[in-house]
Structure 1
């Protein structure tokens, strides 16, 4: 699940787990040992990321061994009870944000979704027309550049200009709220699809951790589940498409930036993904951060600044180039999830995020919010 090769021996992985009878705990990995480093100074992930040097602070923190990593993985399942030992998503008090249409390849698929009005039966014919017009014109394009504006003019003449292309190659990035603080699920949990959706897919992404000062302090993996039919009908349905019970997964743990790992490593990350269904269907995907249209630091700068503050920091999905077109149920309809699909997202420096797909209505209800966290920490004498 985590990288163990020599170049990553100094990696600093932190995260959150649920301890039975106790509640959420801030943890550090020491090899294969899970260490609870929760304290009055570090009651939450938010508190850790606000320190001057989160990696050094986490390394120096004293703690109590909880279990081995293998035991934690075995316990972290889609059917784990509400008070069972399990991995939680790394963010707690932070907002969970996402940037969309940051890769040219997925940008084209968003245009197809819009043109098809969410109808998968129309997608293939529209895909061929769009690709005939666009071709390779978006490869290597810099959003907001003179070249981008020329491409915009051509697409407008062909009546193919789209709001997705506006945020894809225009000057302003799309940044939206993916879910509420602590609503993301962790490794092993069930990730949810709204029952109204019949055309959907996983989205393997890098997720950055940013503190209140706008400093990027670490990275992890995420699955920003995409309801293609819902968002395709209207971009005004983005909130309904993106923010539902268990609608995204983050983890397995957060790798903090230090001398051995930085934003430059994120910029060259190579993500792979595997979807395995109970029907025997299997699909592999890939997303290369080297092909992102906007630099991650630029997206962060558009998200936080004098125009918008995040006192508790935020986690930011960076988008994906993955847009599956492999047929599953019918020719020309491409891919859509089935219940109990297992999704594995892997990156060599960040490990592997694994989740089981279910309807949001079949996933455990999210009940432990900010008020519950504050009560819990107070009862434990951590505030």
Structure 2
């Protein structure tokens, strides 16, 4: 399966790949050809996005054809070696940030996790109770508005107010650090679950690329792997639930904004997701950006500004509509992963991100960080 279709030939697509014997390279996709555009002027994705016009710079950059897309995909597998040709996640020096509880359906599921204290056996009964009280009251509410505060008062009176609803319909968005810089994995790699978790799920999301000036330059796809039982025990375990080895997948390519692809395209995006188990189980999900409760531009403003700067830029997960309520193992427990699940997140404008689920303790260890990148680029005369 290729990560891109022929329906977006006009797109400006860039990412990073690992070149055997060389290291990470900044590449552009020209048709079926993968072009290495790494140079002293553009040694990293961060340098490209911080250029005056990233799209023009990517299009104009000269380079070397290193392989075909099919050859690159063939090498991008969960068991690829450290020096094998393979797709990497697009970001390098950028921070990896994520927004939570940005869709009404996911707000309700977070409340259920909290009420269940991480116990999946309690989920069905709590879902029925919460649904009876909340219903559709969260749909279409502008966060922080007078209407939102009215709903808050009703839910408080019912004893159902939650810290998740506070960030869902209150004035301040939830923005957290998903993983360290350089720790995300790309298309084809294994994504990791902490072995302590027994109740978990994928989160299909659009990810914005923002440069050091706070400008949104483009978008890609992401899987914000989530451990429902861990976060459900305590919101203070968010780091344990979200940030583990290989727990963040981004790709396949970053599509840069141009006259045919803008933030309005993202606002109308329709993501689909398929989970295929080795046991024949199939789950189909979706996430419609038209139902997001906070505009993507607002989420970026809440992340970067006078209150917080990101001189190397950041990639920002926008949250998911996907609510994993379909039972898999036992009635009332909803969905949870099995090892070997293949997760494919797709959008017509962005392609498809495909990863195989494993344990964080068994996924390849993360060894190549910022210092390794700097040594590598210096050794190649690119700094």
Distance in 1 separating the partners of 2:359 and 2:340: 9
TM-score for both structures, normalised by structure 1: 0.99
SS at match of 2:361: helix
For residues 283-294 of structure 1, the aligned pairs below 5 Å read 283-294=283-294
The gaps in structure 2 that reach 5 residues or longer are none
Q: Which position in structure 1 is the counterpart of 2:163?
A: 163
SS at match of 1:361: coil
SS at match of 1:301: helix
Q: Which position in structure 1 is the counterpart of 2:86?
A: 86
The gaps in structure 1 that reach 5 residues or longer are none
SS at match of 1:90: coil
Structure 1 range deviating more: 326-335 or 21-30: 326-335
Q: Which position in structure 2 is the counterpart of 1:150?
A: 150
Listed one character per residue, the Cα deviations across residues 151-170 of structure 1 (whole Å, up to 9, x for unaligned) are 00000000000000000000
Q: Which position in structure 1 is the counterpart of 2:129?
A: 129
For residues 93-242 of structure 1, the aligned pairs below 5 Å read 93-242=93-242
Distance in 2 separating the partners of 1:337 and 1:136: 28
Across the aligned residues of Structure 1 and Structure 2, the Cα RMSD in angstroms comes to 0.5
Task: Give the drift of 1:279.
Answer: 1.1
8 Å Cα contact 1:220-1:252 kept in structure 2: yes
Distance in 2 separating the partners of 1:3 and 1:254: 14
8 Å Cα contact 1:40-1:381 kept in structure 2: yes
Q: Number of aligned pairs?
A: 381
Task: Give the drift of 1:268.
Answer: 0.3
Q: Which position in structure 2 is the counterpart of 1:330?
A: 330
Listed one character per residue, the Cα deviations across residues 145-186 of structure 1 (whole Å, up to 9, x for unaligned) are 010000000000000000000000000000000001110000
For residues 359-374 of structure 1, the aligned pairs below 5 Å read 359-374=359-374
Pairing 1:245–2:255 present: no
8 Å Cα contact 1:3-1:349 kept in structure 2: no
Listed one character per residue, the Cα deviations across residues 46-77 of structure 1 (whole Å, up to 9, x for unaligned) are 00000111011000000000100001001100
Q: Which position in structure 2 is the counterpart of 1:352?
A: 352
SS at match of 1:362: coil
Following TM superposition, the consecutive aligned residue runs of length 4 or more in structure 1 with deviations greater than 6 angstroms are: none
Q: Which position in structure 1 is the counterpart of 2:4?
A: 2
Task: Give the drift of 1:322.
Answer: 0.2
Pairing 1:266–2:266 present: yes
8 Å Cα contact 1:193-1:358 kept in structure 2: yes
Distance in 2 separating the partners of 1:331 and 1:307: 46
Q: Which position in structure 1 is the counterpart of 2:308?
A: 308
Task: Give the drift of 1:260.
Answer: 1.1
Task: Give the drift of 1:9.
Answer: 2.8
Q: Which position in structure 2 is the counterpart of 1:71?
A: 71
